[in-house]
Structure 1
Amino acid sequence: MMTSLRLFALASVAVLVAGCQTMTPAERRAADEDKCVSYGFRRGSERFAECLQRIELDRRADARSLRYSNYNWGWERPVYVVRPVVVRPKS
């Protein structure tokens, strides 16, 4: 029982770590170039460069949108910390 639980936990951690992999800048550039080629643009042309630029601008706009969408959770409002002080009269 304990062995199968440990095996399940290890497998779960492995799946989570595998899902956290990101693309290197070189891999991202190659994927962007492949996408522009699939659209019919020729490498080295002005239209190809514009395609790459638009992909990058879209990526930045998505990142900005995600960053600012966190404000919907209320983090943009000031946080007030209240610590009441009770003063009792001397008797």
Structure 2
Amino acid sequence: MRPHSLLLITSLIAPLGVLLAGCQTMTPEERRAADETTCASYGFKRGTDAMARCMLDIELDRRAEGRSMQSRADAMMWRPMVVERRVIVERR
């Protein structure tokens, strides 16, 4: 393989690796800590009912967003698809 071909392939694969590395999911513990930090930044005190309600609201919003995304994906997947195939007929 030529050196410039190898360089081209490497320059195409490297950004893909960076994109995939950014697609890591959070563990439930990390998500809870992030939600606690968010609610604390809103002014709620840790260990109060208001903090619990804030965290519950964040979780309910996350679940609603997931259902919405799933609904949109289902609508795109199951809508009718029109396939057209042209047939050329020669007259003799």
Query: What TM-score bracket applies, with the shorter chain setting the length?
Result: 0.7 to 0.9
% identical aligned pairs: 49
- Normalised to the residue count of structure 2, the TM-score between the two structures is 0.74
AA at the equivalent of 2:35: D
The residue number in structure 2 matching 1:24 is: 27
The residue number in structure 1 matching 2:7 is: 4
Distance 1:39 1:28 in 2: 17
Distance 1:49 1:10 in 2: 44
Q: Is 1:71 equivalent to 2:74 in the alignment?
A: yes
Gaps of 5+ in 2: 82-92
Gaps of 5+ in 1: 80-91
Query: Pairwise CA RMSD of aligned residues?
Result: 1.9
Moved more, 48-57 or 20-29: 20-29
Runs of 4+ in 1 over 6 A off after TM superposition: none
| Counterpart among 27, 36, 60 of residue 63 in structure 2 | 60
* Helix, strand or coil at the partner of 2:44: coil
